[in-house]
Amino acid sequence: MTAIRIGIVGYGNLGKGVEKSIRQNSDMELVAIFTRRDPQSIQAKVPVVSLDEAESYKGKVDVMILCGGSATDLPEQGPQLARMFHTVDSFDTHARIPEYFESVNSVAAANGHISVISTGWDPGLFSLNRLLFQSILPEGNEYTFWGRGVSQGHSDAIRRVEGVKNGVQYTIPSEEAVAQVRAGQNPKLGTRDKHVRECFVVAEAGADQARIEAEIKSMPNYFADYDTIVHFISEEELKANHSAMPHGGLVFRSGVTGEGTSQIMEFGLNLGSNPEFTASVLVAYARAVYKLAARGESGARTVFDIPFGLMSPKSPEQLRKELL
Amino acid sequence: MTAIRIGIVGYGNLGKGVEKSIRQNSDMELVAIFTRRDPQSIQAKVPVVSLDEAESYKGKVDVMILCGGSATDLPEQGPQLARMFHTVDSFDTHARIPEYFESVNSVAAANGHISVISTGWDPGLFSLNRLLFQSILPEGNEYTFWGRGVSQGHSDAIRRVEGVKNGVQYTIPSEEAVAQVRAGQNPKLGTRDKHVRECFVVAEAGADQARIEAEIKSMPNYFADYDTIVHFISEEELKANHSAMPHGGLVFRSGVTGEGTSQIMEFGLNLGSNPEFTASVLVAYARAVYKLAARGESGARTVFDIPFGLMSPKSPEQLRKELL
C-alpha cells in the first residue's frame, strides 16, 4: 500500500501536533511543511516550503492539513488551498461556519477537490455528539461543560491587569453540577453553577496582590459572573507546572422516551494537550478526505457528512468483523 | 413534507418501544405492525397484519423496522424483508455479523433496497465510539464497562437454582475501576475488578437461603469469577422495584499522543429502559435509510457507513448553522 502523502500548512502548536500524530499512523507520510514565515527559520525533518510555492507540490501531496488560525489565516488559506489540493481544517469560529463552508465549497467543487472543514473537538466531536444525541432523543435537555482546561482568552485578560507579570486561567466544570446531570436531575444551571475559574498569577515585585485579586474577580464578562479562585505563584512555578495546554469537556443529553423514562447519553474528553488532540482528529479526517477523493467526490464537507468508517485504516470487512 | 411511513415487524418490548419513539418524531408515521402471531391477538392503534401478507404493503411502507430476536427471527426475516422493503435492524450476535451482512446485502442489492443492520448501542453506538476513539488515538488502551443494568442471561441462571422462585441480576461497573480509568491510570483489570453482580432473589417458602446464596455465588461462568451480592426479597418487592429494564455502560480510550501526553475519550449511556433506547436508535437510523433510499443507494450498510447528518430531520444547511 502506498502511504497517504500529507502536507502541513502552518507550523505552530497545531502543525507540530499533526507532525507527531502522523508518526503514529503507519499509512501516512509527511511530505513537507508549508509556511508564511521564512522557511529558513524552521528546522524540520522534511522540506519546509514557502506557502507561495505550494502549487509546485501538486501531485506530490494527497491531503493538505491546514493548521492556521480561524481569525485571519483560514478564511484566506482555506479557499486558496482547496483550489490546488484536497484539504482538511479545524476552522472554529462557530458563527462564521456557514459562510466559510460556502467559500471553500465553491472552490473545491470547481477544482475537483474534497475539503472537510471544522473538524477538531468543538466544533467537531462535540458537535457530532450533540447531533447524535438529539437525533436519538428528540425530547430532552442538552448540557455542555468545558475543562478542566486553559482558556487563552481568560489568561490574556489576567495578564492585562496592572501589576500582573504572567498568568494562566483554568476553566473547571462544577463537580456538583456534573453529578446532578449524570443523576438525571435535569438541573437548571446558571453561569455560576456550571464552571469555576481558577487563576495562577505571577505578580510584579511590590505589586498589591489584594488589589490584583479584587480586580480579576470583578472583571465583567470574564470573571464577575463566576466563582473565581486566585493563587499567586512564582514565575518558575508557572513555567514548571502551568505550561501544558490541557483541555476537554463533557456533552450530555438527559432525555426521555415512552412515558417519562429517563435516558442519559454522555461524551467526554480529558485532554493532556488540546493542540495534540485536535491534530490527531485532523489526521483521522485527512484519511477520510483521501478515501472520498479516491471515490471521485468533490466539494466541502463537515463532520456531519463523514461516516466514521472512512477515518479508519481498516477495510469495511475488517471493521464489521472486529469492531461491530 | 410527507411523513416517512414506517412498518414495525415484531411487537415485543422493542417493537413497542419503536411505536413510542415514532410518536416523538413528527416527520414519521406508523403505518402498520407485522407479526408472526395471530394479528387478532394484538391490540394497536394501527392495522396489525400477518407477516405473510407483508408484500401487500409494498409502496405503502418506506422503511421496515425489524424488531425480532437475533437468534432465530432476524437471520430469516432480514433477507426476507430486504427483498420487499428498505429495512433497519439491531442484529446483535457479534460473531455472526459478517455472515448476516452478506446475506442481507445480496438480497437488498439485487432488489434495489437499503438495509442498515446491527444498529442499537452494542453493537451500534459503542462500536461507533470504539472506531472513532482508535482512529483518533491509535496508541492506547480501550475499556468497556456494562451496566448498571439487568442481564437476562444471569437472571435466568439465578432462576434455575433449586428453591428460587424468581430473581433479577444487575451488572454493575466497579466505581473504583471506572475512577482509575478516568484518571488515566491505565489499570490492568481482571474480570473481578471490572464488574460487581447484584442479585435480587425471591426464595420458595421454606427454602434454605444460605444454600441458595452459596450456590449462586459459586456458579461457574456466571458468578464465581465476580464479587456477587445476594439480597432476598418478596415477590411483591421484586415486581414493584425490579420490573424495569435499565442498562447502559461506558466505553473509554486512554491513549497517548506526542511524547507520552495522556488523552482520554469517553462515551457513556445510563438508560432507564434498554428496549426503549434501542428502539429510539433504530428510529433515527430508519430516517437515514429513508434518505439513502431517496438517493437511489442500495445494499446493506452498518453504522460505520452512515454519516450522522442523515439521522437528523434537519437539513445539512441547518445542521451547519445550528449544531457545528
Q: Model confidence over A230-276: pLDDT tens digits? A: 999 999 999 999 999 999 999 999 999 999 999 999 999 999 999 99
CB-based contact A257 B303, cutoff 8 Å: no
Residues of A in contact with B261 (CB under 8 A): 272-273, 276
A1: pLDDT strictly greater than 80: no
CA distance B250 to chain A (A): 9
Residue A94, number of CB atoms within 10 A of its CB: 16
CA distance A186 to chain B (A): 14
Judge whether A33 and A8 are in contact, CB under 8 Å: yes
Which of helix, strand or coil describes residue B144?
Answer: strand
The better pLDDT of the pair B286, B221 is held by: B286
B1: pLDDT strictly greater than 80: no
B175: pLDDT strictly greater than 90: yes
Residues of A in contact with B24 (CB under 8 A): 138-139, 257
End-to-end Cα spacing for chain A = 25
Average pLDDT on B91-108 reads 96
How far apart CA A196 and CA A191 sit, in angstroms, is 9
Predicted complex ipTM exceeds 0.85: yes
CB-based contact B263 A284, cutoff 8 Å: no
- DSSP β-ladder status, B86-89 and B63-66: parallel
C-alpha dist (Å) from residue B65 to A259, B62, B105: 21, 10, 16
Mutate to test the interface with A, among B103, B302, B308 (most CBs of A within 10 A): B308
Contacts of B238 (CB under 8 A, 6+ apart): B166, B167, B168, B200, B202
Query: What pLDDT does residue B152 have?
Result: 87
CB-based contact B272 A265, cutoff 8 Å: no
B288: pLDDT strictly greater than 80: yes
CB-based contact B304 A311, cutoff 8 Å: no
CB-based contact A258 B276, cutoff 8 Å: yes
The count of C-alpha atoms lying within 13 angstroms of the C-alpha of B15, restricted to the half-sphere facing its C-beta, is 19
Contacts of B16 (CB under 8 A, 6+ apart): B275, B279
Share of chain A above pLDDT 70, in %: 100
CA distance A126 to chain B (A): 8
Query: What pLDDT does residue B2 have?
Result: 85
Q: In whole numbers, what is the pLDDT of chain A averaged over residues?
A: 96
Mutate to test the interface with B, among A13, A105, A136, A254 (most CBs of B within 10 A): A136
Ramachandran sector of residue A254 (left: φ over 0; alpha: ψ -120 to 50; beta: rest): beta
Average pLDDT on B217-235 reads 95
A124: pLDDT strictly greater than 70: yes
Contacts of A101 (CB under 8 A, 6+ apart): A117, A118, A300, A302, B320
